[in-house]
Amino acid sequence: MTTVPIEALREALVRRLVEAGSSRETAEVQADMLVEAELRGLPSHGALRLNTLRQRIANGVCAPNALGKHSWRGTAWLDVDGESGFGPVVAQHALTAAARRTQETGVCLVTVRTSNHLGMLAWYAEHWARQGYVLIGLTTSEALVHPYGGTSRLLGTNPLTIGVPTADEEPLVVDLATSIVAMGKVHDYAGRGQALEPGWARDAQGRATTDAVAARSGAIAPFGGAKGYALGLGIEVLVTALTGSAIGTSVRGTLDATETASKGDVFILAPARGGALANLLADFLDEVRASDPADPARPVLVPGDRSRAERTRRIAEGVEVRDALWAEISHQNRTEQA
Amino acid sequence: MTTVPIEALREALVRRLVEAGSSRETAEVQADMLVEAELRGLPSHGALRLNTLRQRIANGVCAPNALGKHSWRGTAWLDVDGESGFGPVVAQHALTAAARRTQETGVCLVTVRTSNHLGMLAWYAEHWARQGYVLIGLTTSEALVHPYGGTSRLLGTNPLTIGVPTADEEPLVVDLATSIVAMGKVHDYAGRGQALEPGWARDAQGRATTDAVAARSGAIAPFGGAKGYALGLGIEVLVTALTGSAIGTSVRGTLDATETASKGDVFILAPARGGALANLLADFLDEVRASDPADPARPVLVPGDRSRAERTRRIAEGVEVRDALWAEISHQNRTEQA
């Protein structure tokens, strides 16, 4: 592993994206998302996505300078054809227009299709909460998750995020996928030859397995049994109904390098009420943190606490990146890239 | 148990509510919610709520004819002071205004405070999906759930619902609480002297317990570990931020008979796109149902399938109600009521 200062990582990512055809402006937004995922300990959504993004640009399924075509379905519903742009660029462009519109409407619904991978949803919740907005974000992805009581890949990992400003400097940011683990984690376990925990996955034939290699071509379980399945399925159907995206096994382009992105993204944005309410929320979160833990050695955490601590540490110390990946990103040794 | 035809149950509930001060119109909406909960196998939200509702009316903390006071925070955000009305009455009145408004805005956010218990959220999702709307519904409730890694009651069971029309007669309806079980179930187990499953609950001192009696004054676990906790906490904070309701242990009036209801409700309503998309959604849900099950004897279900089957059976056969409860509702023997 190489420890890379985050500014060096960000600048190298921007350069590689510009080299592939991005404007500096769109490259910076996409690179910021990749760096933030590294900072928060979500490397599956970080620098390793660069190569796929570059391949997607080369293959004509990512248009690095597209901002998305906006049409309004009513005064408070912004519907976006992402024109195969970078997910974060199209989403932030739309959310900026939506935020402006909420001055009149109080709330705005943003629906996006044909846009590339959104990346880590917490990034959006954090950004807009810091601007004073409550945000709900949902996105679908390629089918990797089996139904509760089922065996085949039929659902995306379908994450959701909630962002709420509080009187604290840090907003509340919830970001969770509806799968029990990420497929990236299954790949990590496979790479290390480590067994999965029972109940996490099934193989390509639908048999329960703890073999990470077999699980890579199989399906991951939903989190939380029937309830997590219901939530993930609800997100899949809701997002498709609102965006007109593809659904289930027809979703493409969030993992591969060759197909147009056909998943959908949904955001709901509303300015927070603020005032005394912001203090109430901050006090409540502190009450949760201060409440009696089950294990005295492990204080109760609020969602986002751990990733923020990791972020602070990595801003100071830099980000650990695999040598081959860093060589590729930094152009030190492009012929040996992994 | 007495088997009661549903029309007889509905009519008896309406009469008791009218007797307590409701107009026939508001009583019918509230009674319909209670009957539907019985039909779908959620008796904790059914006829047994009548007594608390009547007591709340008598105690002046439920105003059975209030419809809620509407103010618009922007053209698409309907903010409602529920004026202590019946939860279903205030919500449906607001959602009707919101649905009308979506013709102009495309989406409407409805935020409600000071309104009584909403009851079973699936009822709203089903109703509005049948009218062609996508609905998201969230509500908070009195603190019964401990944080992940924590031990004390700090969060409501905070359910969410998602309703989406499809080309099928039946819409997709997801309705899940973010607790691992309902407190009603803990009470049922306590009544039967049955042990809880490990991991479900803690006692009043915060110790893990399988003793249902001890758990009644303790806390229930969130479903799905850290993720379900994050979702439930996210709902708690989001709802308070948008509605200005109470939060955490300050929430009152969803279980007791004496205090003003201080939880909040949030709805997001948008007309579905319909057309070919409605077929795509119906086909996808059928694909999920037809997919290979883990146990050949138990086909894969879509959320709502089981409760719809129960509903159909009970419409034909009637609803099982405890003898004492039916005596109370039907006035057959008011002095022996439980």
- Asked if A162 lies within 8 A of B302 by C-beta distance, the reply is no
pLDDT number for residue B44: 86
Contacts of A148 in chain B (CB under 8 A): 300
pLDDT band for position A332 (50/70/90)? Answer: low
Cα distance from A110 to chain B (closest Cα, Å)? 10
Q: Which residues contact A277 (CB under 8 A, 6 or more apart)?
A: B240, B241, B244
Q: Does residue A3 surpass a pLDDT of 60?
A: yes
- Asked if B292 lies within 8 A of A151 by C-beta distance, the reply is yes
Element (H, E) at A108: strand A108-113
Q: Does residue B32 surpass a pLDDT of 60?
A: yes
Give me the residue from A136, A174, A247 closest to B230, CB to CB. A174
Contacts of B298 in chain A (CB under 8 A): 149
- Asked if A303 lies within 8 A of B272 by C-beta distance, the reply is no
- Whole-number Å distance between alpha carbons of A118 and A138: 10
pLDDT band for position A151 (50/70/90)? Answer: very high
Element (H, E) at B4: strand B2-4
Q: Does residue A335 surpass a pLDDT of 70?
A: no
Contacts of B74 in chain A (CB under 8 A): 102-107
- Asked if B284 lies within 8 A of A237 by C-beta distance, the reply is yes
CATH of segment(s) A67-180+221-276: 3.30.1370.60
- Report the residue of B126, B205, B238, B301 to disrupt the A interface, i.e. the one with the largest count of A CBs within 10 Å: B238
pLDDT number for residue A338: 40
pLDDT number for residue B335: 47
- Asked if B230 lies within 8 A of A270 by C-beta distance, the reply is no
% chain A with pLDDT above 70: 98
Cα distance from A57 to chain B (closest Cα, Å)? 29
ipTM surpassing 0.90, yes or no? yes
pLDDT number for residue A188: 86
pLDDT number for residue B200: 97
% chain B with pLDDT above 90: 92
- Asked if A247 lies within 8 A of B280 by C-beta distance, the reply is yes
pLDDT number for residue B332: 65
Paired tokens of A220: 């991951």
N-terminal to C-terminal alpha carbon distance within chain B: 13
What value, to the nearest 5°, has the Cα angle with vertex A86 and ends A80 and A89? 70
Contacts of A294 in chain B (CB under 8 A): 149-151, 206, 208
- Asked if B109 lies within 8 A of A106 by C-beta distance, the reply is yes
Contacts of B122 in chain A (CB under 8 A): none
Q: Which amino acid is at B27?
A: A
pLDDT digits (tens, 9 = 90+) for A124-147: 999 999 999 999 999 999 999 999
pTM metric for this prediction: 0.97
- Asked if B280 lies within 8 A of A224 by C-beta distance, the reply is no
| Mean residue pLDDT across chain A | 95
Among A164, A163, A121, which Cα is nearest to A140's?
A121
| Mean residue pLDDT across chain B | 95
Q: For residue B249, what is the DSSP state? A: G
- Asked if A294 lies within 8 A of B74 by C-beta distance, the reply is no
Taking CA–CA distances from B205, the nearest residue in chain A reads A292
pLDDT number for residue B191: 87
CB A62 within 8 A of CB A88: no
- Whole-number Å distance between alpha carbons of B136 and B120: 13
Give me the residue from B134, B148, B288 closest to A147, CB to CB. B288
Contacts of B162 in chain A (CB under 8 A): 234-235, 237-238
Give me the residue from A109, A176, A299 closest to B270, CB to CB. A109
Contacts of B299 in chain A (CB under 8 A): 149
pLDDT number for residue A79: 98
Taking CA–CA distances from B280, the nearest residue in chain A reads A247
pLDDT number for residue B184: 84
A to B CB pairs, distance under 8 Å: 252
pLDDT number for residue B137: 98
- Asked if A162 lies within 8 A of B237 by C-beta distance, the reply is yes
pLDDT digits (tens, 9 = 90+) for A62-110: 999 999 999 999 999 999 999 999 999 999 999 999 999 999 999 999 9
Q: Which amino acid is at A332?
A: Q
Pick B191 or A75 by higher pLDDT: A75
- Whole-number Å distance between alpha carbons of B8 and B318: 9
Q: Does residue A230 surpass a pLDDT of 90?
A: yes
Partners of residue B319 on adjacent β-strands: B4
- Asked if B149 lies within 8 A of A298 by C-beta distance, the reply is yes
- Whole-number Å distance between alpha carbons of A281 and B218: 24
pLDDT number for residue B331: 83
